[in-house]
Amino acid sequence: MAVMVRGWMLPLIAILWCWPLTAAEEDRYQSTILENGLELVLLPGRDTPVVILELVFRYGANVQVPGQNGWTQLHAQMFFRSQEESPSQFSYRERARELGIEYSSLSREEWTAVLISLADDSLEAGLEFLLRTVRQPLLEKDEIAQERAMLLERMDQLESTTESQLRRAAGHLLWGSSYRRQGRFSNRESLDGATVEQLRLLQMRYIIPNNALLIVAGDIDREEAVAQVEEIFGAWERGYDPFRTHPLPGHIHLMENRDTVLVKPVASAEIFLTWQGPGYLEDPKGVSAASVCAALLNLRAGRFQSRLVTNGPLLQATASYHPQRSIGPFTIRATALMENAQQAVALLQAEIELLADPSYFSRRDYEHAGAGLQVQVASWKDDIWIEVGQMAAGWALAGLDYVDSYPDSLQAVTPADVRKCLSNYLIGQPLVTAVMVDEGTGKSIILREVLVP
């Protein structure tokens, strides 16, 4: 359990942390909230002589309104261009090189993060660098145009793979007109509309301390780290709650089955079944249950894998659930020999209906799936880079309490919760089926007739 404290308690905490062993010492990490609302996590890493800093904001593609597709990604790239104190990207990069910093940014559906790593004795300089990175981008017109061109190039590269074409096709069907709030790139034209003023608006609205979590991880001295964060980030001014002034609209619900067949020169049939699964805001328990559902379907000796893969027409099938605040997609990705494509789709869809049988998963299945998920959490904690990323994503989804309680919430999932999740979100629910096959198969494959009505 993490320790939650307010800013005025920091000096006291700093003193307590000087003692050889405090209650906090037994915890994996410590957390606090600065007076300006910035949440801080200290995550010591025992063996790594490196400091990792991740600053994550609760905004991503989900804030994009029509005509803004790709803007949050563009904005995240602009962090690494000119700064007030580094008036060209060269000087910014040079400063990073002097400090030996590796940096990157990532903007996903519901969060945007900047990650830097550097030598363990350069924490203070790293914190200053990170704050300047997110707080002072100049967002100049020429540089926006340059980054836009580079992003379009990246978009071309992504579109050139058949896997991304399949995912995009399924994504468009699953989310309809709100796909812009899920996909980072789905509309080239909208990137052209990104102006200096609009990116500054994103900057002003969302890049504020009370919409952020800072994780300081690695080989750190807790007392020193908290003092330096307080000194460097403490003066960063709080902003208005962006989601109070600009509440997020809900997603468009999928109301009917949709399907698509992509004809490409592929050797095996690629199958994508996806549903609108639970979102944390509406169904927090469903989020845990959906993760367990995916683990149950992935059990190598479980009924699903045994019938469809080991003794069935599929070469592989993987279930995944991507938790989000509002509607998380639940997906089954499968591959079959081309000649088995029709049979594979039909059996997959029929098997989903069979999940309604209460005895489909055995008690042993639940034990194995639960244990497997706990080991997955342990494996995240075994690699501090992965742990930092998972913590950032978990915080963006539902806060640090969610991060803390995640293993327990998985353990608490009962067979009844799983059945409820399956019935609410998968069995008989609107489904998107996207299939990529060769030309010959594409002419004959039928998806609609085998779909659930």
Partner 1 sequence: MNLRLYGSLLIVLALGCQKTPRSDTTGFIIDGLEVVFKRTPGRPLVAAGFYLRGGLSYGNPEQAGLEPLLLATMMEGTLRLDEVHSRLDALSATLEVVAEYDYSGLTISFPIEHWPAAWELLSDILLHPRLDPVDLERVRDRIISSRITAPTGPEQDAARNANQLYYSRHHYSRRPWGSLESLSRLKRRDLVQYYRGDVTKNRALLVVVGDLDLEELTSHTRRLAKQLPLGPDMLPPALTFDPGKSALKVSRRSLSREHITGLFGAPRPGHPDFPAFTVALIMLEDLLYDELHTSRQLAYHPMARAGDRFFNYGLISLSSARPREALQVVFEVLERLTVNLLPVTVLQGRIAVALTRHHRRLAGAAGARDQLAHWKIVGESWEQLDQFAPELQTVRPEQVQLVMRKYVRNIHFAVVGNPRKVPRKLLTSR
153 touches partner 1 (CB under 8 A): yes
3 touches partner 1 (CB under 8 A): no
Alpha helices (H) along 260-383:
284-298, 303-305, 341-354, 363-382
Of 237 and 383, the one with the shorter C-beta distance to partner 1 is: 383
101 touches partner 1 (CB under 8 A): yes
Q: Among 286, 302, 323, 389, which residue sits at the site for partner 1 (rule: CB under 8 A)?
A: 302
Min separation Cβ 7 and partner 1, Å: 27
Residues paired with 119 in a beta bridge: 50
d(CA 153, CA 185): 11
Of 97 and 244, the one with the shorter C-beta distance to partner 1 is: 97
Q: What does the block give as tokens for 257?
A: 């089955």
Q: What does the block give as tokens for 437?
A: 């096959």
119 touches partner 1 (CB under 8 A): yes
241 touches partner 1 (CB under 8 A): no
Q: Among 375, 416, 439, 443, which residue sits at the site for partner 1 (rule: CB under 8 A)?
A: 375
Sheet holding 314-321, edge to edge: 258-263, 432-437, 268-276, 329-337, 314-321
Min separation Cβ 375 and partner 1, Å: 4
CA–CA distance from 186 to each of 157, 171, 337 (Å)?
13, 10, 30
Region of 106-114, 156-164, 238-246, 403-411 interacting with partner 1 (CB under 8 A): 156-164
**What is the radius of gyration, based on Cα positions, of the chain?**
24
Q: Which amino acid belongs to residue 14?
A: A
- Please name the residues in contact with 53: beta carbons below 8 A apart, sequence gap of 6 or more: 115, 116, 117, 118, 126, 127, 130, 214, 215, 216, 217
194 touches partner 1 (CB under 8 A): no
300 touches partner 1 (CB under 8 A): yes
204 touches partner 1 (CB under 8 A): no
Min separation Cβ 136 and partner 1, Å: 14
362 touches partner 1 (CB under 8 A): no
141 touches partner 1 (CB under 8 A): no
Min separation Cβ 378 and partner 1, Å: 5
Min separation Cβ 45 and partner 1, Å: 8
443 touches partner 1 (CB under 8 A): no
130 near 82, Cβ under 8 Å? no
d(CA 296, CA 320): 10
CB count in 10 Å sphere of residue 259? 20
Region of 13-21, 233-241, 366-374, 395-403 interacting with partner 1 (CB under 8 A): 366-374
Q: Among 157, 177, 195, 411, which residue sits at the site for partner 1 (rule: CB under 8 A)?
A: 157
Region of 118-126, 174-182, 229-237, 393-401 interacting with partner 1 (CB under 8 A): 118-126
φ, ψ at 246 (rounded to 5°): -135, 75
Indicate the helix (H) or strand (E) that contains 57. Answer: strand 50-57
414 touches partner 1 (CB under 8 A): no
Angle 131-147-62 from CA coordinates, rounded to 5°? 70
188 touches partner 1 (CB under 8 A): no
Q: How many residues bind partner 1 (CB under 8 A)?
A: 67
118 touches partner 1 (CB under 8 A): yes
Of 181 and 303, the one with the shorter C-beta distance to partner 1 is: 303
d(CA 391, CA 96): 25
Min separation Cβ 77 and partner 1, Å: 10
d(CA 392, CA 55): 8
* Terminal Cα-to-Cα distance of the chain (whole angstroms): 46
CA–CA distance from 37 to each of 6, 238, 299, 320 (Å)?
9, 7, 42, 34
337 touches partner 1 (CB under 8 A): yes
Min separation Cβ 68 and partner 1, Å: 21
Min separation Cβ 276 and partner 1, Å: 28
Residue with tokens 């904690």: 381
Q: Among 385, 398, 424, 452, which residue sits at the site for partner 1 (rule: CB under 8 A)?
A: 385
Interacting residues with partner 1 (CB under 8 A): 47-50, 85, 89-90, 93-102, 117-122, 125, 146, 149-151, 153-154, 156-157, 160-163, 219, 264-268, 299-302, 305-306, 310, 315-316, 335, 337, 364, 368, 371-372, 374-375, 378-379, 381-386
